[in-house]
Amino acid sequence: MKRSVIDITDLTKEEIDALTNVAEDIISNPGKYAHICAGKKLATLFFEPSTRTRMSFEAAMYELGGNVLSMTDAATSSASKGESVSDTAKVISCYADIIAMRHSKEGAALVAANAASIPVINAGDGGHCHPTQTLADLLTIKREKGRLGDLTVGLCGDLKFGRTVHSLIQALSRYENIQIVLISPDELRLPDYVYNDVIIKNNMKCTQTSDLLWALPKLDVLYMTRVQKERFFNEEDYLRLKDSYILTPEKLARAKKDTIVMHPLPRVNEISVAIDDDPRACYFKQVLNGKYMRMALILKLLADNKAIDEVTV
């Protein structure tokens, strides 16, 4: 049976923990991994803009000794002539060994996975989820805080459309003693399908507020997010909400000395650049950790699909 990752729940907690172990081994012993994917091809199908996710997938495959076929823009592909996602996935299955795909429509990655004969990794589908960003986030939390349980995690900004937040809450629900603090304007609160189906269903401790300054001193992790301009139906609402939260050094002074500041990036205005040199700023570490976790995930899916031997740490 072909194995894809569309949602973070497609991986068990044990598998996520194993992926973080492999990623940490890659960091320590890159040479051991440099040729494992020789002769294999990753296709990156990006129907929606990206810098980090696409390039980190591509860097990941090159660092594993593999090759990359890249579709960087739907406008220059046959999607612009009306080719369906299913047909595209079937076609790419003839050329590559694994697909990483981003699309603006929720569910598009699942459609591709159902049609493809090779593994598909969801690299972000609309406002739904972004499981490999979550893998990057989990490795960052583990490396910076030394644990993935016993944490108070504040998620701030656009919790409605921010797909990275949806996947991260889902992943954190599997760890012990996680307290979630949801910080957003009313209009950008977490969708019910995440709040009810993940937070309530898993009995997670959770507080909702619009007041970042109130929340800050309580947090071990502050996860800032961009207001997702591309998902708004009218510009007026976006302009009114886009600067709801701007983290400045003065505000961060209210946080604990070991609170880490995360952001999936791209950042617009949410975190002042004056914070970049603060040792608590971890958003560029997330970028690098994302590459290592994507390397680990490519290895796992190729091994699960018998395209390479299983990797042991």
Give residue 296's Cα distance to chain centre.
Answer: 14
- Of positions 12, 21, 29, 51, contacts ligand CP by CB under 6 A: 51
Query: Could you tell me the smallest distance in angstroms from the CB atom of residue 193 to ligand CP?
Result: 21
Is residue 284 within the footprint of ligand CP (CB under 6 A)? Answer: no
39 binds ligand CP (CB under 6 A): no
Among the listed residues 20, 53, 152, 164, the single catalytic one is 53
- Kindly state whether residue 294 participates in binding ligand CP, applying the rule CB under 6 A: no
Taking CB under 6 A as the rule, does residue 53 contact ligand CP?
yes
Instruction: Give residues 253-282 in contact with ligand CP (rule: CB under 6 A).
Output: 264-266
What token pair was written down for 261?
A: 């500041």
The answer to whether residue 163 is catalytic is: no
Q: Are 97 and 302 in contact (CB under 8 A)?
A: yes
What phi, psi does 133 have (nearest 5°)? -65, -40
d(CA 275, CA 245): 14
Q: Minimal distance in Å, beta carbon 102 to ligand CP?
A: 7
- 102: annotated active-site residue: yes
Strand runs (DSSP E) across 14-62, as ranges? 41-46
**20, 50, 173, 289: residue in contact with ligand CP (rule CB under 6 A):** 50
When the beta carbons of 46 and 175 are compared against ligand CP, the nearer one is: 46
Binders of ligand CP among residues 122 to 151 (CB under 6 A) are 124, 133
Kindly name the residue from 76, 81, 257, 306 that is annotated as catalytic.
81
CA angle 166, 171, 175 (to 5 degrees): 135
Q: What is the dihedral of CA 59, 273, 247, 183, to 10 degrees?
A: -20
Task: Write out the binding residues for ligand CP, residues 83-122 only, by CB under 6 A.
Answer: none
- Is 291 a binder of ligand CP (CB under 6 A)? no
- The verdict on whether 44 is a catalytic residue reads no
CB distance 211 to 183 below 8 Å = yes
Number of residues that bind ligand CP (CB under 6 A): 9
Check binding of 52 to ligand CP (CB under 6 A): yes
CB of 52 to ligand CP, least distance (A): 4
- Contacts of range 84-93, beta carbons closer than 8 Å, 24 or more positions apart: 85/111, 85/112, 85/115, 86/111, 86/112, 86/114, 86/115, 87/115, 88/45, 88/112, 89/113, 89/115, 89/116, 89/120, 90/115, 90/116, 90/117, 92/43, 92/45, 92/116, 92/118, 93/117, 93/118
Cα Rg of the chain, angstroms? 19
Of 291 and 300, the one with the shorter C-beta distance to ligand CP is 291
Give me the catalytic one of 130, 145, 166, 174: 130
Residues catalogued as catalytic:
52-53, 81, 102, 130
Residues of this chain that bind ligand CP (CB under 6 A): 50-53, 124, 133, 264-266
